[in-house]
Structure 1
Amino acid sequence: MPKEDTRLRLLFGLLAAMAVVSCAAGGVLYYSTLYSASLEMAHKESVEKLTGVGRDVDIYLKWSINSVRILAEIKELTGAIPQGGGVAGATDMLVHYRNVLKADVCYLMDRSGTVIATSNHNSPQSFLGKNYKFRPYFSRAIQGEASIYMALGATSKKRGVYFSHPVGSLRGNPLGVAVIKMDITEVEDKLETLDSGIVMMVSPRNVIFATNRQEWMFNLLWQAPEPWQKEIRQSRQFGTGPWPWTGMTQMDENNARDANGHIYHMDRVPLSNTRGWSLIYMYNQDRIYERMVAPLRRTMGFGVGAICIIFGVVVWVMFRQANASIEQRRAAETMIRKSDEKYRGLVSSMADWVWELDGQGRYTNCSEKVESVLGYKPEELTGKTPFDFMPEDEAQRLRTVFSRIVEAEEPFSNLENWNVHKDGRRVCLLTSGVPIRDDSGGLAGYRGVDSDITDRKIMEETLQEHQQWMETILMASPGPMVLYDAVGTPQYLNRSFTDVFGWSLDELKGRRIPFVPEEEQAATAEQLRILIGK
């Protein structure tokens, strides 16, 4: 063999090894980028979901406090105190109100905190004659302030949300207090929409009042100092205890560690209609990895190995075409790197706004967030419909969908729709809403929230373009290329392979290609065995 050929073979052997290393490094870089982007996307999705749940809970609490305000103004209740007459009429009204609202119990208290009428008057656990003046919901309401209070029932031993409102007035002072106790399951159903991780409703002193992890119920999320525990015990808000510590330790604003050393990402959303209460959502980052990245890694493993093998064999055997192949590979790696940089740059924040529609589907109220989403001030939307801000074909599609929703008078969630920003650009929104009822129970409109998911849609389109681009690169390669499965059977080959070797993909289905010279087979088999780790 001429000396020049030996040197050339050695040179291209080194190039083959460099190609394999480059592919492996590129795979590691791509995997690392995908892992980081997946965690970031999971974080943004959790914040979006938690904010939506918090908004739903706040809407429910606001609706309930309005219900007790209406109850407190009914004449059957104002006439029952302070003289004590008309208690029977008040009892009938409380029973009726409980049935309409599907509440746990409705009751009326006089100025001393004693229950003088209640919807559960026939129950073995009747509140009638009980005195609850120690409850903050009574002390606040008797001073003229409506109140929301979450606690374990002193009599029923059941968790609930208490809504209280002052009743009547005598020389500027309330005559008594009307109370509606709602079952906590109304709130827990909303928490269940977060289908992974740990979601909790937590008191100002970090007592877990509602959660999808039942063993944490009435536990202290963080280790509490003795004065806090004494305050919890004296309030009787959460029973008589004990209130064990979950073992969680807060590391910083967004991270916590459990007793076994596992790290959890944490998001917190305050509840605006309560004093110091909040929703907290925790998830283990390792589980996010298993759910989002590991399946893709397992799927890509064989493909990456096959590509490395093909690059080495092609450069070693077809060395006269190596220079062109190397330049092509470098160009492809540059485009992949740019595509990865573009993918990382597509992570952006999402903006939400709350809205209300009347019975004709026209905006009656919008939060200030609409200006950052669509560019319009809230007052510019008043009297208009959501379809006025959509392209014509999208508006026609959404009218059909929304007509079915209105006809069924049912809530809806995660409805994707395209809108036109004030500056002319298209904005994709994710819309959810619940019906608004009038006094007679009829449909008076809808209330809901819109989230801007335009960036996410753009990211999906970019990834699809990247996949199409990779397929184009493989087809346009001047060198023969073939992809194998795990057992060495061809799965794909380009046009150059057919031109050089004469085989088509149909002819090679289920077969192995005997293209390695006989004198090179032993060495090639050993190299392949080392590369694939078998």
Structure 2
Amino acid sequence: MSHNILGASYHGWLNNRPALIVLVFSVFALIMIQTALLSRQQTLDELERKTEADLNRYILSVEQKLDRFKDLPKLLSTHSELYAVLPVPENETETLRVNRYLEQVNETIGASDTYLMNAEGLTVAASNWASERPFVGGNFRFRPYFQDAIRGQAGRYFALGTTSLQRGYFFSYPVFDKQQVVGVVVVKIDLNDVEEHWADPLLDILVTDADDVIFISTRPEWMFRTLRPLPPEDQQRVVQSLRYGDSALIPLDIINREPLSSGSQVITLLDQERKHGGEVAEQVRSKQYLLLSKAIPDTGLHASVLASLKPVEQRMITALMLVAFIYVALVLLILVLVARHRIKRERTEFQTREHSALEESEARVRAIIDNTHAGLITLDTKGCIASLNPTAEKLFGFNAQEICGQYFSQLLAEEDRAVCWHHIMAPEERESELMVEASGRRKDHSVFPIELTIGTMNVDSQQQFLVTIHDITERKEYEQQLKNAREDLEFRVQERTADLSRANSKLLEEMALHSRTQNELIQTAKLAVLGQLSAGINHELNQPLTAIRNYADNASAFLQRSKYDVVASNLHEISGLTERMAKIIHPLKEFARKSSGQIEIVSIRAVRDGAMSVMYGRLDKEEVTVVWPQNLDELYVRGDTLRLEQVFVNLLSNALQAMTGQAEKRIEIDASLTQDRVTLTLRDLGPGLEEPGKVFEPFYTTKKAGQGLGLGLSISHRIIESLQGRLSAGNHPDGGAVFTLELPRAQVHAADEALDKTGS
């Protein structure tokens, strides 16, 4: 009967679903609105009580601080030393004593500044007399605290200091001499502690004057702004009093005020977002604050607290989420109760299907275990065999009836039993499953290699072990074959390595021999050039030697005649001739020495000078004109100076010999630059090259017998290649041979440094 009733209710709910959904959402909306209103009012009342307590606590701390200092000016006015500098200081000693006294008092009471003014408002002594901006000499008669004190009353005032530009609260008291006011004592204190110690990010403290100008705030960007727009006359009055310097007194951007019954306000303020660390961001957003204000007694000041309404919004959101959760939970509970009957009916059907599926699954698992190629053995907690599949029976030669209940260790060789037994019987040291290679023991006591894995499993809340066994006889045989092949390969590699080492040593010896042979050929070529050079030098030395002999004979004759002036002139001429001979011999000595072989930055101009010093005799004798480029000072390459000089000497010598017997003998040298290369071309007016492709081959020459070995151009080609350059040969379209020389370019600044070092 109950089953029929529930079924009818369930079907009736399904038929009326649209109307029920509308009702559910209507009730939900009404509950959420009421919850939001009640939660906001309750949270706002709690925030107002907390904010008022914080405001009272702050006002109390300000009153206590003011009470500590309010009677100090009166006490200081009775000190006799002050009269020594009033109305005008008589001497510097008295003034210094009063300044030091005020400095000591100021340090003792912990005030910001303490100073003394005469009846005209001139500061005659101050505690900051030794600072960079002392008050001494300043006139503050325009300050209200001075005007109150000069009338015989105690004064109070808050303003920016005109000298220090620091905010401060001023206490003043008149100094009497025979019932007459002769001066004013002022104590300035700092009320900025709240800005340094207030740590509540949701609560901001403001202190305003009677004009609602903010001069103390936990928000620096609100400083010297107003809580309300000031009338023009009030703003002009505050600016003329210099109370806040040149501040613009702009009002805060309050776009809405909502008065509350308690007298406080909820204001909407356009405020800049503050980043982490207090930095002000550029984005401006409207925020709501609870504003409470109270007067600080006997000061003329007002303290205000702006409490962020973010906690109110968060409380509202929390309450709405809680009510929504409860409402949804109730609706779901009803749905659960309605659907419970259907679930019970379906559960019975599900259990029947599940039991059938479980039996089918067990049958499939058993079929997989029986037909797998790996041996599977289950062990109980004591390490005894509980079951084994047909593959394991074939591997070990046992059937399940005769082996079940016995220890698993009898299926292993004795040397492997300890490891497996320790893994089974020591659960505290068992981190994961055990996987080892071991030796299996068959029923006939034969041994074969196996790969053994022992893992754990839970069966009926009891821990058991599953042993997986693979026969690895074939793998072991393959590994042995692979090992034998590897050993044979290593032996062959060692033999080949020995052969390569011997061949490498022989190659190194041949390379060293080749290098020495090349260097000797280079030096031989240089000496061949020196032979030609020495013939010209010998001819040039004959004339200076003949002249020296004549000058010496003449000097001897004139010396006997006591003509010392003539003797001195002859000796001077002899000295000049010897210097000329030294210059003739110097290129021979420089060209003969061997190069260091180091790559350095080389000036083409220096190479030209060296080569021309070697060749000038032959060129002059043969009346050959050599035209060099004008921009040699800009050409720097990476190379070796002596080797490059030898290359140019070889090229000039070949050009000179090619033009033998001609009427016009001229050698033209051009230069061009790219980003990383310097290209030099040398052209002569000779007959040209018969086979340009063979000129760099060793011992190739077109000269007559006795004029050369054909090694000059070959050696020059090797020198340029060793310097990472390129030397090529060809014929000019207008006649004559052309040799093109390419070399790596060096940077100009690097070349300048190299030349500076050479010059130094």
Q: TM-score, normalised by structure 2?
A: 0.38
- Whether the 8 Å CA contact 2:202–2:308 is kept in 1: the answer is no
Instruction: Quote the offset at 1:189 in angstroms.
Output: 4.4
Instruction: Quote the offset at 1:209 in angstroms.
Output: 0.3
User: Which residue number corresponds to residue 66 of structure 1?
Assistant: 71
From 288, 296, 303, the equivalent of 1:279 is 303
Would you say how many aligned residue pairs link Structure 1 and Structure 2?
A: 323
- Whether the 8 Å CA contact 2:32–2:324 is kept in 1: the answer is no
Instruction: Quote the offset at 1:65 in angstroms.
Output: 0.9
From 35, 49, 54, the equivalent of 2:40 is 35
1:220 has 2:226 as partner: yes
User: Which residue number corresponds to residue 598 of structure 2?
Assistant: none
- Whether the 8 Å CA contact 2:102–2:115 is kept in 1: the answer is yes
User: Which residue number corresponds to residue 465 of structure 1?
Assistant: none
User: Which residue number corresponds to residue 247 of structure 2?
Assistant: 241
User: Which residue number corresponds to residue 147 of structure 2?
Assistant: 139
**Alpha-carbon separation, structure 1, partners of 2:314 and 2:79:** 54
Amino acid corresponding to residue 228 of structure 1 in structure 2: D
1:178–1:49 CA distance, 2 compared to 1 (3 A)? same
Instruction: Quote the offset at 1:232 in angstroms.
Output: 1.0
**Alpha-carbon separation, structure 2, partners of 1:282 and 1:268:** 9
Residues 280-316 of structure 1 show CA distances to partners (whole Å, capped at 9, x for unaligned) of 122343x123444435655776565344312331255
Identity %: 23
Instruction: Quote the offset at 1:144 in angstroms.
Output: 1.9
1:520–1:56 CA distance, 2 compared to 1 (3 A)? farther
From 249, 262, 269, the equivalent of 2:294 is 269
Amino acid corresponding to residue 130 of structure 2 in structure 1: N
User: Which residue number corresponds to residue 207 of structure 1?
Assistant: 213
User: Which residue number corresponds to residue 231 of structure 1?
Assistant: 237
1:236–1:5 CA distance, 2 compared to 1 (3 A)? closer
**Alpha-carbon separation, structure 2, partners of 1:249 and 1:27:** 28
Secondary structure of the residue that 1:219 maps to in structure 2? coil
Counterparts of residues 313-462 of structure 1 (less than 5 Å): 313-315=336-338, 317=340
**Alpha-carbon separation, structure 2, partners of 1:135 and 1:42:** 40
Instruction: Quote the offset at 1:40 in angstroms.
Output: 1.2
From 256, 264, 269, the equivalent of 1:258 is 269
User: Which residue number corresponds to residue 54 of structure 1?
Assistant: 59
- Whether the 8 Å CA contact 2:145–2:170 is kept in 1: the answer is yes
1:141–1:186 CA distance, 2 compared to 1 (3 A)? farther
**Alpha-carbon separation, structure 2, partners of 1:163 and 1:93:** 18
Amino acid corresponding to residue 290 of structure 2 in structure 1: H
Instruction: Quote the offset at 1:41 in angstroms.
Output: 0.3
1:188–1:68 CA distance, 2 compared to 1 (3 A)? farther
From 100, 110, 116, the equivalent of 2:118 is 110
**Alpha-carbon separation, structure 2, partners of 1:101 and 1:133:** 25
1:116–1:201 CA distance, 2 compared to 1 (3 A)? same
Residues 142-173 of structure 1 show CA distances to partners (whole Å, capped at 9, x for unaligned) of 11222221111111111111121122343x33
**Alpha-carbon separation, structure 1, partners of 2:318 and 2:37:** 14
> Which structure shows the bigger proportion of residues in helix conformation?
2
Amino acid corresponding to residue 50 of structure 1 in structure 2: L
Secondary structure of the residue that 1:265 maps to in structure 2? strand
1:77 has 2:82 as partner: yes
> For structure 1, which segment, 175-184 or 121-130, has the greater mean C-alpha deviation from structure 2 after superposition?
175-184
- Whether the 8 Å CA contact 2:267–2:289 is kept in 1: the answer is yes
Amino acid corresponding to residue 167 of structure 1 in structure 2: V
- Whether the 8 Å CA contact 1:78–1:168 is kept in 2: the answer is no
Counterparts of residues 284-323 of structure 1 (less than 5 Å): 284-285=308-309, 287-295=310-318, 305-315=328-338, 317=340
Secondary structure of the residue that 2:158 maps to in structure 1? strand
- Whether the 8 Å CA contact 2:99–2:127 is kept in 1: the answer is yes
Instruction: Quote the offset at 1:184 in angstroms.
Output: 3.4
From 125, 129, 136, the equivalent of 2:133 is 125
> For structure 1, which segment, 79-88 or 56-65, has the greater mean C-alpha deviation from structure 2 after superposition?
79-88
Residues 198-232 of structure 1 show CA distances to partners (whole Å, capped at 9, x for unaligned) of 32111111211011111111122211111111111
Instruction: Quote the offset at 1:108 in angstroms.
Output: 0.6
User: Which residue number corresponds to residue 523 of structure 2?
Assistant: none
Instruction: Quote the offset at 1:93 in angstroms.
Output: 1.7
Counterparts of residues 461-480 of structure 1 (less than 5 Å): none
User: Which residue number corresponds to residue 410 of structure 2?
Assistant: none
Amino acid corresponding to residue 40 of structure 2 in structure 1: Y
- Whether the 8 Å CA contact 1:20–1:308 is kept in 2: the answer is no
1:22–1:225 CA distance, 2 compared to 1 (3 A)? closer
User: Which residue number corresponds to residue 167 of structure 1?
Assistant: 175
- Whether the 8 Å CA contact 2:205–2:305 is kept in 1: the answer is yes
> For structure 1, which segment, 21-30 or 69-78, has the greater mean C-alpha deviation from structure 2 after superposition?
21-30
Please report the RMSD computed on the Cα atoms of aligned residues, expressed in angstroms: 3.6
Q: Return the index of the structure with the highest Cα Rg.
A: 2
Residues 94-148 of structure 1 show CA distances to partners (whole Å, capped at 9, x for unaligned) of 1111111232211111111111111111122011111100011111111122222
Q: TM-score, normalised by structure 1?
A: 0.53
**Alpha-carbon separation, structure 2, partners of 1:194 and 1:69:** 38
